[in-house]
Structure 1
């Protein structure tokens, strides 16, 4: 550990902290946070609102870490969902029947207009079929991941290990069944980042400034918010609640 700490100092790397479960690995006897994300001063100045998220367990016995890179607070904009043909549909025996059903629906108009309408009708049928058949797998996966997430947040208990292993086994089955689904959506991104020597005291001061900055808070509904106005309101509500004067019992005095 002394060599690891010295390596972090020599490379001028700083722990990013984390959002989510504290522990990233467990066995029958203990739980630990063995996985961490590090950054240097220049990278943090470019992406001051970045964060490291601990994801639920999946195929391996370590929780994966997701680094979200934000130069400024993220603004989520919902866009209309476009139709995408899923490669995994071809493995289901009912896929051909759904396509034939959509293509046989009656249409009117010019020949090419009818072709366009048939394609649209078939796509709508496929999406409804997908929601009824394949979406159940996604829902089950989210439920299992939520349970694994809750288990990793709790302190070590010997009885939880077998439950955790059973959930991981079922999650691995679902991931294997959806292998094509994930491969179709996979993207490979490469990040090239240079490193320059910085003064030690500058790094320590920058580290403190980063830790003291409130990048976001969870509201009462458990939703993460980075809007500065909402963050300020949550802070005010919190301190108003803990410093509110309560009633006193004269008899107890």
Structure 2
């Protein structure tokens, strides 16, 4: 398929996903020794299509399995490859390998050049996040703020900031564990970190599920990116860019 696509298109392009094969022996740790003929065949397939591997700047192994040192295996089988003219066009592109809580595959994020995030400043209003109800300290915080007449909105904003910081910390921790020695201790630390990351992601999904106002999806359908896009789309739709009067646009 790769060879056919390369022969039918002269445009600069890239492709990414699970290729289920490695190129070099340093892309696998643990388990059986990589089969050299398979690596060479995959390498020649990419070269024949003039596709070049884009090495990640953050993270390395994209798949891992096993809970003990004897059974633990990690590989870099998910990647982005690109035509040389595409790489010349997007010279500042970068790849990040992001550990996931519910899959043995990590996500691979391709960042393009020219990205610009525009954040609007808007006045927050209070809305209780029901994902709070599962936290042990929720009752005490609500009671204390109620008695002190404090700002609950500020507390929720602070909690969101802490949650995102904890998510980044856990992903970085998992990346370091994958690059460290394969021991029973590290395997157990990885298992516990994945449990903690899942808990953080469950709360994040509930947060965006509530804001998306999507009632037709079943509980448990894990698609936070969809909820996020839905919530932000509704926000943009409700935004008033300006008012047209006799004097012009204000």
Q: CA deviation at 1:86?
A: 9.1
User: Closer, same or farther in 2 for the Cα pair 1:77/1:171, shift >3 Å?
Assistant: closer
SS of equivalent to 2:109? strand
Q: Which one has a larger percent strand, Structure 1 or Structure 2? A: 2
Cα distance in structure 2, aligned partners of 1:87 and 1:41: 50
SS of equivalent to 2:61? coil
What count of residue pairs does the alignment treat as equivalent?
160
Cα distance in structure 2, aligned partners of 1:52 and 1:18: 4
User: Closer, same or farther in 2 for the Cα pair 1:77/1:35, shift >3 Å?
Assistant: closer
Q: 1:147 aligns with which of 173, 179, 186?
A: 173
Q: 1:66 aligns with which of 109, 116, 126?
A: 109
Q: Does structure 1 residue 169 correspond to structure 2 residue 195? A: yes
RMSD after superposition: 3.6
User: Closer, same or farther in 2 for the Cα pair 1:23/1:130, shift >3 Å?
Assistant: same
Q: 2:55 aligns with which of 10, 13, 17?
A: 17
Q: Which of structures 1 and 2 has the bigger CA Rg?
A: 1
Q: Does structure 1 residue 8 correspond to structure 2 residue 33? A: no
Gaps of 5+ in 2: 1-37, 209-223, 231-250
Cα distance in structure 2, aligned partners of 1:18 and 1:7: 21
Contact in 2 for aligned 1:57/1:149 (Cα 8 Å): no
Contact in 1 for aligned 2:126/2:153 (Cα 8 Å): no
In structure 1, the residue matched to 2:89 is: 46
User: Closer, same or farther in 2 for the Cα pair 1:87/1:36, shift >3 Å?
Assistant: farther
Contact in 2 for aligned 1:24/1:152 (Cα 8 Å): no
Cα distance in structure 1, aligned partners of 2:126 and 2:174: 28
Please give the TM-score of this superposition, normalised by the length of structure 2.
0.51
Higher relative contact order (CA 8 A, sep 6+): 1
Cα distance in structure 2, aligned partners of 1:56 and 1:92: 25
